[in-house]
Structure 1
Amino acid sequence: MEQQVQVLPDEDGVRVIVCAGEFDQDTLGPLKTASTKAAYDPGVRRIVLDITAVTFADSVTLSLMLHLLRTGRLVLAGPVPPRLDRLLDLTETRDLFPTADGIEAARIL
């Protein structure tokens, strides 16, 4: 699957970043750019990262997710795909991330 990052229009201060495909140190650029813009935008009160179509993520991706988590505004829109779930379990970071079932639920979490 080709990697895709799509930023949906903000609604009520919520920015949704939809991720699909594989994310590693060589392909993280578009996600890092979108995430950084969201993290530093004072009008964004919540960052929703839709991870349902992520087929692979490495430690660099996890590091970016942890950086977003530190903003206090990150919510993952799941369900969490198996390979990302395994990474979160192996690194014992699964419980750190607020996760909602789908984008709409994440908007209000």
Structure 2
Amino acid sequence: MQQDVLVLPDEGDGVRVIACSGEFDQATLEPLRQACARAVADPAVRRIVLDVSRITFADSSMLNTMLNLLRSGRLVLAGPLPRSLARVLELTQAGRLFTTVGSVEEARTL
């Protein structure tokens, strides 16, 4: 499985963008978990934007990671939501828990 987690350079606006691409399951989530933990621990970060638009596969372990990040009170998902992630959110009825917008730019302006 191929996946990539890229933490974009902060722009001084208190928004940390974590861009995800590829397939995310229990075996590939550690880089994302580490990036999320650093963002949550950084007092300068007031919003964490998870760019999920390029995820090709996501399972319940990805959802669990997102729910843990949601507890920080600072998470916004930037889409559009890929089909596999949208399906997980639909099946679990967890979609309504997340603030989801159409792009990283839109998430920055919330």
* TM-score in terms of structure 2 length: 0.95
Distance in 2 of aligned mates of 1:83 and 1:61: 11
What is the total number of aligned residue pairs between the two structures?
Answer: 109
What corresponds to 1:81 in structure 2? 82
Report % sequence identity: 61
Distance 2:33 2:102 in 1: 23
Alignment root-mean-square deviation, CA: 1.0
> Deviation of residue 40 (structure 1)?
1.2
Query: 2:108: which partner in 1?
Result: 107
Residues 16-68 of structure 1 deviation map (CA, whole Å, 9 limit, x = unaligned): 00000001110001101101100111110000000001011111111110011
1:4 equivalent in structure 2? 4
Distance in structure 1 (CA, Å) of the matches to 2:61 and 2:37: 14
1:28-67 matches, cutoff 5 A: 28-67=29-68
Q: Secondary structure of 1:62's partner?
A: helix
Q: Out of 55-64 and 89-98, give the one that drifted further.
A: 55-64
Q: Secondary structure at the match of 1:49?
A: strand
- Could you tell me how far apart the structure 2 residues matched to 1:84 and 1:50 are? 12
Where does structure 2 lack aligned partners over 5 or more consecutive residues? none
Gaps of 5+ in 1: none
